[in-house]
Amino acid sequence: MRRAGLRPTHTPAVLVTHGRIDDQLGKIASLAPRDERRKAFRLLVAVLAIADGRRRERYCSNGCSHWWHRLSAAD
């Protein structure tokens, strides 16, 4: 939540931290106010960035063939 710039009381943060994630993702996707959807997007991108960083450390630290891990090298 901190990485996404959200407070723990923002609706997407509450939904992500309570209940089964597969149930909560549907609720997050259907948030009505545009501002809430923006918050949800920022939160989910931050969560994916953390997950990808952990995956890289664990499985790809000695190199890998994932094309998305080479995106920054293509600049």
pLDDT in tens, 28-64: 888 888 888 888 899 889 988 888 889 888 888 888 8
Enter the tokens of residue 52.
């990808």
Question: How many CB atoms within 10 Å of residue 16?
Answer: 22
Is-above-0.75 flag for pTM? no
pLDDT at position 21, please?
83
**CA–CA separation, 23 and 19 (whole Å):** 7
Banded pLDDT at 74 (limits 50, 70, 90): low
- Going by C-beta distance under 8 Å and a sequence separation of 6 or more, which residues neighbour residue 45? 4
**CA–CA separation, 57 and 67 (whole Å):** 16
Label residues 21-39 b or e (16+ Cβ within 10 Å = b): eeebeeebeebeeeebeeb
